[in-house]
């Protein structure tokens, strides 16, 4: 078996080979289809989920988000594959990512903050920091993430290169990156085996759908070529044709209670607002809205507030409870009687800023992790979920002024070496 270090060198070679012509990577199907396991992914599935209960929600009983990468709204919305999705669903025309680059956006979608992060380092977030997974589990709602080309269930490493199925004459390709896998970054998930077992590969996905055990909340990350990161939007469109379109016709994935969000992590250009293309599809969307667009102002935090409103969950008490940046998807808001905020373009915060926010994952302006304001109320009207290990007396008021650790020759204590493959001990 390759060590992660050797494989990342192999993939560096692949990257150098292709870097001047990203679109030169030929598209290829990794397998026979989304419901069949393939040796082009590293490990075959060894386990299956066993979730019995389906907890009904006000608007949907299954939420699936699928994240693509770094693409212009105008480009995505003029690509046939994405137009095809738009015709079946609701296009969100004022949906913003929350910062740059990738990793803080993925993290924000799970724990309701980017924590000041402004790069793609090997971060881990301590056990006392809650995520949407705590909120879901409190109500018995099952969940999983499915990561294409992650080599094994709950794999902890920074990246993974596997056989280059796009071009077998090339070295193994770095298809999997930890920075696009938000549950793995949160210790409140990975420290517990019954949770890390839900950080799954696409072979596990094929196993779970065939076994009828797909969970109610899913976060899906295509690999580094299929998500357009190393390629183009047309390449990603071939992936949606191969993977998503058959699943939209498959009752085991999409039925009248399903909501699927196809979104992008961030806008490609840093010096303008961070608008991204997002489209909602799936059987739970009211028929009269299919093929329309919705100009409500949304952000990645809206994925948290929307599931909270739908399933009557508590809030994390972070930006998911900040009403000005977390509007609930409009038809869901209508169904639960939630009042969204009407935000004019000029009042949308600058989401293109990076590394300017104080926080535990910003080495330039470091502060410790502090407790949320427990008096906040989320979109469901419920209060804040409090992690058992959280020191509730350590609030924003108690936090010392931010420190520039970089100037002291050090960095955030929540960064691990890139060659880490096992959980940190603390």
Q: Is 230 a catalytic residue?
A: yes
Q: Which neighbouring-strand residues pair with 200?
A: 146
Q: Near ligand NAG by CB under 6 A, which window of 56-64, 133-141, 292-300, 366-374?
A: 366-374
Among 61, 352, 380, 412, binds ligand NAG (CB under 6 A): 352
d(CA 235, CA 43): 24
Q: Is 133 exposed, middle or buried (0-12, 13-18, 19+ CB in 10 A)?
A: buried
- On whether the CB atoms of residues 133 and 149 are closer than 8 A, the answer is no
Q: Does 271 bind ligand NAG (CB under 6 A)?
A: yes
Among 35, 45, 99, 130, binds ligand NAG (CB under 6 A): 45
Footprint on residues 208-247 left by ligand NAG (CB under 6 A) = 210-211
d(CA 37, CA 48): 13
Q: Near ligand NAG by CB under 6 A, which window of 14-22, 231-239, 296-304, 400-408?
A: 400-408
In terms of CB distance, is 193 or 287 closer to ligand NAG?
Answer: 193
Which x/- pattern, by CB under 6 A, does the window 277-316 give for ligand NAG? ----------------------------------------
Q: Does 39 bind ligand NAG (CB under 6 A)?
A: yes
Among 19, 23, 46, 53, binds ligand NAG (CB under 6 A): 46
Footprint on residues 370-389 left by ligand NAG (CB under 6 A) = 370-371
C-alpha 116, offset from chain centre = 17
Closest CA to 280 of 315, 250, 254, 318: 254
Tokens representing residue 381 in the block: 């009207």
Tokens representing residue 24 in the block: 């030169």
Q: Near ligand NAG by CB under 6 A, which window of 141-149, 172-180, 278-286, 361-369?
A: 361-369
In terms of CB distance, is 180 or 259 closer to ligand NAG?
Answer: 180
Among 244, 325, 332, 336, binds ligand NAG (CB under 6 A): 325
Q: Does 147 bind ligand NAG (CB under 6 A)?
A: no
**Backbone dihedral region of 92: left (phi > 0), alpha (psi from -120 to 50 degrees) or beta?**
beta
Q: Does 72 bind ligand NAG (CB under 6 A)?
A: yes
Among 186, 317, 365, 378, binds ligand NAG (CB under 6 A): 365
> Residue 398: CB partners within 8 Å, gap ≥ 6?
370
Q: Near ligand NAG by CB under 6 A, which window of 57-65, 254-262, 296-304, 317-325?
A: 317-325
DSSP label of 327: P
Q: Does 151 bind ligand NAG (CB under 6 A)?
A: yes
d(CA 341, CA 315): 18
d(CA 145, CA 105): 16
Given 174, 204, 230, 294, the catalytic residue: 230
Tokens representing residue 197 in the block: 């077992």
d(CA 35, CA 220): 14
| Other Cβ atoms within 10 Å of 401 Cβ, number | 7
Strands (E), 282-342: 292-299
Least distance in Å: CB of 63 to ligand NAG?
23
| Cα separations in angstroms, 134 against 310, 316, 385 | 16, 9, 8
Least distance in Å: CB of 38 to ligand NAG?
4
Q: Near ligand NAG by CB under 6 A, which window of 15-23, 281-289, 307-315, 344-352?
A: 344-352
Among 50, 193, 417, 425, binds ligand NAG (CB under 6 A): 417
Least distance in Å: CB of 28 to ligand NAG?
4
Rounded to 5 degrees, what angle do the CA atoms 307, 309, 314 make?
85
Q: Are strands 258-264 and 159-162 parallel, antiparallel or unpaired?
A: unpaired
Among 369, 379, 380, 384, binds ligand NAG (CB under 6 A): 369
Map residue 342 onto helix, strand or coil. coil
Q: Does 349 bind ligand NAG (CB under 6 A)?
A: yes
Least distance in Å: CB of 166 to ligand NAG?
7
Tell me which residues are annotated as active site. 230
Contact positions vs ligand NAG (CB under 6 A): 28-31, 38-40, 42-48, 72-74, 126, 128, 151-153, 165, 201, 203-204, 207, 210-211, 267-273, 275, 322, 324-325, 349-350, 352-353, 364-365, 368-371, 390-391, 394, 404, 406-407, 417, 419
């Amino acid at each position: 078996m390759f060590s992660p270090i050797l494989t990342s060198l192999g993939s560096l070679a692949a990257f150098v080979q292709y870097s001047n012509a990203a679109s030169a990577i030929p598209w290829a199907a990794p397998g026979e289809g989304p419901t069949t396991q393939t040796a082009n992914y590293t490990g075959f599935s060894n386990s299956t989920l066993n979730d019995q209960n389906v907890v009904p929600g006000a608007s949907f009983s299954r939420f699936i988000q699928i994240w693509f990468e770094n693409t212009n709204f105008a480009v995505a919305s003029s690509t046939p594959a994405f137009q095809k999705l738009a015709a079946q669903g609701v296009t969100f025309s004022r949906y913003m990512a929350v910062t740059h680059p990738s990793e803080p956006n993925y993290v924000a979608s799970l724990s309701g903050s980017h924590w000041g992060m402004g790069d793609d380092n090997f971060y881990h977030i301590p056990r006392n920091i809650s995520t949407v997974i705590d909120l879901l589990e409190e109500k018995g709602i099952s969940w999983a993430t499915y990561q294409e080309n992650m080599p094994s269930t709950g794999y902890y490493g920074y990246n993974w290169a596997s056989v280059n199925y796009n071009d077998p004459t090339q070295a193994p390709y770095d298809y999997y990156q930890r920075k696009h896998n938000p549950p793995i970054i949160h210790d409140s998930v990975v420290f517990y085996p019954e949770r890390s077992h839900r950080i799954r590969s696409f072979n596990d996905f094929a196993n779970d759908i065939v076994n009828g055990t797909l969970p109610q909340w899913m976060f899906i990350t295509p690999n580094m070529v299929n998500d357009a990161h190393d390629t183009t939007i047309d390449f990603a469109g071939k992936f949606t044709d191969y993977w998503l379109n058959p699943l939209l016709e498959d009752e085991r994935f999409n039925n009248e209670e399903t909501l699927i969000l196809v979104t992008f992590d961030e806008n490609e250009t840093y010096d303008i607002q961070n608008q991204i293309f997002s489209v909602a599809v799936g059987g739970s969307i009211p028929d009269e809205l299919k093929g329309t667009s919705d100009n409500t102002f949304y952000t990645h935090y809206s994925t948290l507030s929307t599931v909270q409103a739908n399933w009557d969950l508590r809030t994390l008490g972070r930006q998911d409870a900040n009403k000005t940046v977390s509007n609930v998807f409009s038809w869901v808001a209508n169904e639960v009687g939630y009042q969204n905020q009407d935000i004019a373009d000029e009042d949308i915060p600058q989401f293109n800023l990076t590394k300017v926010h104080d926080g535990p994952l910003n080495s330039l302006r470091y502060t410790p992790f502090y407790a949320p304001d427990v008096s906040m109320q989320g979109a469901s009207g419920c209060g804040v979920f409090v992690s058992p290990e959280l020191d509730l007396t350590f609030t924003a008021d108690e936090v010392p002024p931010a420190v520039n650790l970089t100037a002291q020759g050090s960095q955030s204590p929540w960064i691990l070496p890139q060659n880490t493959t096992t959980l940190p001990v603390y």
